[in-house]
Every structure is written in C-alpha cells, then in structure tokens.
Amino acid sequence: MAGRTCIHARTRKRISGQVMALTLESSTISEFHDSLMMYYELVREKQKQHQGDWVTSRGYLPLPDINIPKELIEDRTILRDRDWGTKADWRDTMLKHGFNKENTKMWCVDHENLPQDFLTILDTMPIKHPVFTLNIQPPGSTVPAHEDTWRIWYDKHPDLAKKYTFEDTVFFIVFLEDQLIGQTFSAGVTQVAWKKGAAIQMPYYCKHATSNASFENKMLVQCLGIKA
C-alpha cells in the first residue's frame, strides 16, 4: 500500500487549481502528453506486473516489395536536434549513456507517403484509426531500450487522443524483409526472430529496442492505433 501511495503522489498534476491523479486506465493519451515522464513511471509499474509472453505472433502478411522515392524519406534520427518537450529528461538519459546522433540514425516514411496497395494489406490487421510508419535503420545504428508514447499517432489524431486511453491502444510491428545476422529486435525479455511479412503484437507498455550490426538496412513498419 505504501508503494501505491508513492506512485499516486508522483503522478499527480495540477489542473485549474485541482490535483488530478493520472492513470493508464482512465486518463487520456492527450492528458499524458502534457507530462510524459509520469507516463514512463506508470508503464514501468505495468512491466513489473506483466505475466506471460511479451510478443504475440499475428502471422504473416503478403507484403509486396516496396520502393520509396528518396524525397519521401525523412530523417528520424532518435537524438536529432528537436524540441523534446516533457521528454527532455529521457533525451538527457540517453546522452549520458553514450547514445548520440551518429549511433541512433533512423529514417522513416510517413503514413501518407506509403503506397496504397501496401496500406491496404496493413489495414487487414485488427486496428482502428491506424498510423503506419516505415522505419529504416541503417547499419551501425541502434534504438535505445524505450517505451513508445504514441507521439506520431497523437500528432495525427489530436481529437481522438482526447477520447482514448493507452489501455485502448494496439501496437503491431511488421517486418519488411528477412532477418539478417546482426539485426535484432528486443521486446521485453524476448529476442524476436522474423521472416519477411511477419507481424507481431506487443502491449503498449512493452520496453523494446532494436539494433543493426548487419551490412544492409533493416526495415519494419510500426503500426499504432486503437483496438478494433
């Protein structure tokens, strides 16, 4: 009970002179984006309570080969210069542990720039209001262990973010190519092995990380949305 009291004390925020406790079950995604470090504290409690597998297989999708024009590929390097807002402490933690612009390189293709035939196949998964982002991780790059905060989804659906909680969300990863030696995807304590088209599901609070020690780009699609 003492531990629970401490958690609530750390996750209160003041709104219009009143104190409101944020909870993953009742507070909206939008509310958490006003104080993301509180979100991190609560998901770590969820991780401690987690039972069973971290990853659920969703089978294989018949993905076509994809060719994206270079002008549609954006720089999404993890530690690029940008406004970190309420996640500034997380940026500083990564820098402190040796992560930087050079070893966290990442490129992406936004949902709106993905081919329609590709989106049609992704839409067969049990997901509402999806945001699909193609991530391209070059050789020598890492994504430090982290929990997603649904920022990309939040930016595209600000009104829906005021309606849904993180408990309403669903999180899929779809791999676009066969795994090569040196390519990794870690979800909780699970080291994922994959083939082209493999789709996996993780709980929204799952800590995950990726790395690419191969000599080819590693490509996957991050699928964020609401449970169908």
pLDDT digits over 27-77, tens only? 999 999 988 889 999 999 999 999 999 999 999 999 998 999 999 999 999
If you average pLDDT over residues 220-228, what whole number do you get? Answer: 97
Does 103 share its domain with 208?
yes
In 64-161, the DSSP E strands lie at: 73-75, 107-109, 127-137, 142-146
- Strands of 22-117 (E only): list them: 56-60, 73-75, 107-109
Looking at the fold, whether 27 and 129 belong to one and the same domain comes out as: no
The pTM assigned to this predicted structure is: 0.89
pLDDT band at 20, cuts 50/70/90? low
Domain of residue 183, CATH code: 2.60.120.10
Residues 119, 10 within the same domain:
no
Whether 62 and 134 map to the same domain: the answer is yes
Residue of 40, 20, 36, 143 lying closest to 85 (CA atoms): 36
Are 45 and 105 found together in one domain? Answer: no
Mark whether 212 and 99 lie in a shared domain.
Answer: yes
Do 43 and 139 fall into the same domain?
no
Q: Which residues partner with 220 through β-bridges?
A: 135, 175
Could you tell me what percent of the chain has a pLDDT over 70? 91
Whether 40 and 97 map to the same domain: the answer is no
- pLDDT (tens digit per residue) in 113-163: 999 999 999 999 999 999 999 999 999 999 999 999 999 999 999 999 999
The per-residue pLDDT for 25 is 93
Burial of 94 (0-12, 13-18, 19+ CB in 10 A): middle
pLDDT at 201 over 60: yes
Looking at the fold, whether 17 and 130 belong to one and the same domain comes out as no
> Is 123 in contact with 228 (CB distance < 8 Å)?
no
Asked if the model's pLDDT at residue 19 lies above 80, the reply is no
Based on the domain organization, do 114 and 158 belong to the same domain? yes
Residue with tokens 């493999």: 198
The arithmetic mean of pLDDT across residues 205-222, rounded, is: 98
Check whether residue 15 and residue 92 sit in a common domain: no
pLDDT of residue 128: 97
Neighbours of 133 (CB within 10 A): 19
The answer to whether residues 37 and 106 belong to one domain is no
Structural domain harbouring 25: 2-49
Number of domain units in the chain = 2
Residue 16: pLDDT over 90: no
In angstroms, the CA 206 to CA 204 distance is: 6
Give me the chain's average pLDDT, please: 91
Q: How far apart are CA 145 and CA 98, in angstroms?
A: 13
The pLDDT, as a whole number, for residue 5 is 34
